[in-house]
Amino acid sequence: MSKKNLIVLFGGKSTEHEISIITALQAIENLDRTKYDITPIYVSKFGKWILGDSSFFSPNKYKDLALIERKYPSVSITLGDVGRLSKNLFQTLKHADVIFPIFHGTNGEDGSTQGLLELLNIPYVGCGVISSALGMDKIIQKQIFTQIGLPQVKYQWFYRQTWKANPKKTLAQLSKLKYPLYVKPCNGGSSVGISRVAKISKLKVALEVAAYYDRKILVEESAENFMEINISVMGNSGSALETSVCEYVPSKGLLTYEDKYMSKGSKTDLKNAGMASGKHIIPASIKPATAKKISDYAKQAFSAIDGQGFTRADFLVSLDEKTIYINELNTIPGSLAHFLWTASGYTHSQFLDKLVELAENRHKEKSQLTFNFNTNILSNLGSITQGKLKV
């Protein structure tokens, strides 16, 4: 069997740029080279697309990101940029068998890149346009979870502009919630811009911080003394879905960016990045019935957003396991949540193979759809006079 051309897209114009590099390197290291020829395309923090070579497979490459940008020709994905290089880049993209977007956050995990990949009509790993966009929007996710009856903490949300225009009204709206609160930018990730607010006097600063990162702000009640339990869903909505074992994530209230990604002494170790804080326990020591409920909720949430490929679903579970809240879905989770799948009977490479296979299946299914509708409506089209169509 001939090898597949697989393009890994990573980096990106996002606050989680560095995390994306780590996740991509972990995947590249574990993609089976007997099955795939890998081409890296690195997107800089400024949104420049750089066609990489094999030197991009080494962590050392990323010690000086500015140097990469200076050294390699790059192209912006804009209408104006249609030079020779962009042709080169698009030729490369066009000849891919499968594209593997490994971005975290804005401009990559949020449906924008997925839209570009839809236009290219090439199979790509993971969620499509809608599910990616929904996965990034914590507020619309919550509204969907409410609609399908999944339990979650009480919350309020508002636009930054509304708050700026009428702070009193917003504060009155928030007075319906019990402290401590979590204040979050709607589209955030990796805890960037999130604050835990213990009392009202700290609320304004937290809102300012969140408003710095987003147009929409989410404020929710804190689930105090709850465990954080994660699970991953794999499959394509409409077909059979599989869930991984659950993971217990140790948390000190709010896992910071450093907690998540920096090991002690702040040196990031590629293999374990994403597991850096304390002792993650996989499988989580929870009752089988609780794990089953979490698995059911995760599948329901995945289907509700029309999830494709895989996601990680994050839950907050009370210590007595009587209350389970869904917190959020992550459509391109840190480390692709491979720790959960290697604890569920897959090798890392098999897990990545499965993601590629799901991407191809979805593409096949989509290519069977009809995008034409035969109609003779235009043949009878008359003229338009004074705004009225005469037929």
Ligand X SMILES: Nc1ncnc2c1ncn2[C@@H]1O[C@H](COP(=O)(O)OP(=O)(O)O)[C@@H](O)[C@H]1O
314 near ligand X (CB under 6 A): yes
- From residue 326 to residue 365, the character string flagging contacts with ligand X as x (rule: CB under 6 A) and all else as - is -xx-------------------------------------
The reply to whether 335 belongs to the active site is yes
Residue with tokens 């990469």: 68
| CA 360 – CA 363 distance, rounded (Å) | 5
Out of 222, 232, 277, 290, point to the residue binding ligand X (CB under 6 A): 222
Out of 22, 127, 153, 276, point to the residue binding ligand X (CB under 6 A): 153
190 near ligand X (CB under 6 A): yes
| CA 5 – CA 8 distance, rounded (Å) | 10
Q: In which element (H, E) is residue 19 found? A: helix 17-30
CB of 115 or CB of 180, closer to ligand X: 180
Stretch that binds ligand X, among 32-40, 249-257, 364-372, 382-390 (CB under 6 A): 249-257
223 near ligand X (CB under 6 A): yes
Q: Which of 14, 16, 112, 221 is catalytic?
A: 16
- Name the nearest CA neighbour of 334 among 192, 221, 212: 192
- Name the nearest CA neighbour of 20 among 123, 101, 118, 130: 101
Stretch that binds ligand X, among 87-95, 168-176, 183-191, 272-280 (CB under 6 A): 183-191
Is 365 among the annotated ligand-binding positions?
Answer: no
| CA 308 – CA 209 distance, rounded (Å) | 33
227 near ligand X (CB under 6 A): no
Q: Could you count the other beta carbons within 10 Å of the beta carbon of residue 303?
A: 16
254 near ligand X (CB under 6 A): yes
Stretch that binds ligand X, among 72-80, 169-177, 187-195, 283-291 (CB under 6 A): 187-195
Backbone angles phi, psi at 41, to 5 degrees: -120, 115
Q: Are strands 36-43 and 4-11 parallel, antiparallel or unpaired?
A: parallel
In whole angstroms, the minimum distance from the beta carbon of 278 to ligand X comes to 12
CB of 191 or CB of 268, closer to ligand X: 191
Long-range contacts: 252-261, Cβ < 8 Å, 24+?
253/196, 253/222, 254/182, 254/191, 254/194, 254/195, 254/196, 255/191, 255/228, 256/191, 257/190, 257/191, 257/192, 259/191, 260/190, 260/191, 260/334, 261/18, 261/19, 261/22, 261/190, 261/334
Q: Which of 190, 222, 237, 277 is catalytic?
A: 190
Is 330 among the annotated ligand-binding positions?
Answer: yes
Distances in whole angstroms, Cα of residue 255 to Cα of each of 192, 193, 219, 295: 10, 12, 17, 23
189 near ligand X (CB under 6 A): yes
Catalogue the E-assigned strands of 222-291.
226-236, 241-243, 247-249
Q: Classify the C-alpha dihedral 73-76-80-83 as positive or negative.
A: positive
255 near ligand X (CB under 6 A): yes
User: Contact 213/257 with Cβ under 8 angstroms?
Assistant: no
CB of 156 or CB of 251, closer to ligand X: 251
In whole angstroms, the minimum distance from the beta carbon of 224 to ligand X comes to 7
CB of 8 or CB of 255, closer to ligand X: 255
Q: Could you count the other beta carbons within 10 Å of the beta carbon of residue 36?
A: 22
Q: Is 353 helix (H, G, I), strand (E, B) or coil?
A: helix
CB of 61 or CB of 280, closer to ligand X: 280
Stretch that binds ligand X, among 4-12, 41-49, 247-255, 276-284 (CB under 6 A): 247-255
Out of 228, 248, 273, 290, point to the residue binding ligand X (CB under 6 A): 228
| CA 172 – CA 162 distance, rounded (Å) | 13
In whole angstroms, the minimum distance from the beta carbon of 323 to ligand X comes to 12
Residues marked as catalytic: 16, 190, 335
Residues at the contact surface with ligand X, assessed by CB under 6 A? 153, 182, 184, 188-191, 194, 220, 222-223, 226, 228, 251, 254-255, 314, 316, 327-328
* Residue stretches of the annotated binding site: 314, 328, 330
* Residue stretches of the annotated binding site for Mg(2+): 314, 328, 330
